[in-house]
Structure 1
Amino acid sequence: MLRVKEGDLSKMGLLYERHNRDLFGYFYRLTNNATRSEDLVQKVFYRLLKYRHTYRGEGKFVYWMYSIAKNTWLDLLKKKRIIDYRDDASSYEEFPNPEKNAEDLLIATERKNLLKTALQQISPEKREAIVLSKFQGLKYQEIAQLSNCTENAIKSRVQRGLLELKDIMLKLESR
């Protein structure tokens, strides 16, 4: 990113190759919409280019990238108020593992779908904290910096969110 900041825009393609799938996964878990996630990834890379002059090179690049991603998502939430979530995972689904039998694959798919549904039923703050910590692998301290709050607040959001997810999934499974 420092090279992009200095004017070597050809390095932007390399950044895209390295980080677009992670960003897509982040947005997909937040929106449950592949098309919207792809659009948000494009907006993030546009903003990375537009605001490259603000990059200081302190800390890891991904922290700066996720702060821009978070702001992009929040801008969408403010603009739309309520996002219409759909189940469109066609461009994000994994290929089945041939070593698993059909029953295991069916159970795993059902659990994954339940998790997607349950994630959409918790608050955006808790959802984002869970996605960043459990799916994107960021530490609580890093998420706290991105969210402009304390590490304890993030721990609380994750813990409460996971408890809500558990309750929601139990309700969904009992249907």
Structure 2
Amino acid sequence: MEETEQYLEKRIKQHKYDCRNERQYTEDKTALAKHHFENGHKFRFGDVRIVDAEINGYERKLSEMIHISMRDTVNIKNDTDGLSSVYRIIYVVAGVKNPKLIVDDYEYLINRKDHASRKTMWLCSQYHKIKCKSRIITYGKTVKINSSHNHPPKVPDKTHAIPQSVTILRNI
């Protein structure tokens, strides 16, 4: 997991080069190459995908830190030292009629949109079933959590969900 301004193919080539046997004892290896040599793991360089794209360099670096902190990666974890706990990944399950948000393993459904303020109000998906009153408001890349849940989280299926890096504001 890393951010780069380079073309993806060029960065993959650099990683492949770093993982060659003659580079095993060099000092200037990436975390990926160190992991390869220390653990014997082989990486599938043909199976690489872009998880986020940001034009702004600061936002790209921030997005990288968020993705590293939320996944089991081979990155050196000090890559995330500058990351505040307010930045998180949420998941958007797109749907024309019923889109969903997944925040902290809780699912939310759209309650209403306020087009004037560009805010969307969301209800916990368990509202009708067990009267969970947790609500969130989204605007831009900000998620404001207004109340807590009356039930434990249930790990939802994120197979078709799109990860988004956001700022979380908790008002509970």
When normalised by structure 1's length, the TM-score is 0.27
If you compute each CA radius of gyration, which structure gives the higher value, 1 or 2?
A: 2
When normalised by structure 2's length, the TM-score is 0.28
Structure with larger RCO (C-alpha < 8 A, sep 6+): 1
Larger strand percent: 2
Larger helix percent: 1
